[in-house]
Structure 1
Amino acid sequence: MVAAAWLAVATVVGVLVGRMIRHRDRQVPTAPDPPPPTSSDVEKDVPTRRMSGRSRRRS
């Protein structure tokens, strides 16, 4: 009976600690904003052709 109680307490503590660790790891800094486009960047922003080759099959 005592062993079952300790097992239940250990399970609850393990779940709570696991959630805290996952929550901590999820907090990543945001990506920095890209620099504003210049006139040379606007010219480079032309859509390119698709590459030929293998692609994912559609089901």
Structure 2
Amino acid sequence: MSNKVSLMRSVKAVAWSFLGIRKSSEFQEDIDKITPLHVLGVGLVAGLLFVVGLIVVVNLVVAK
């Protein structure tokens, strides 16, 4: 159960970091509760999804 909570917290932390918005208190909680491996994995997947999403949008715009 703790692993699931840590993974979901990692997803939330990475999502907020993409926006550049984060409370200091939340950041301190993240440091205590999430693992760097989760953050790395979620960050790579999120970055990949972002790039793929941009490619799809560009292809849709160019096709019209």
Q: Taking structure 2 as the reference length, what is the TM-score of the superposition?
A: 0.41
Q: Taking structure 1 as the reference length, what is the TM-score of the superposition?
A: 0.45
The answer to which structure has the higher helix fraction is: 2
Higher-Rg member (1/2): 1
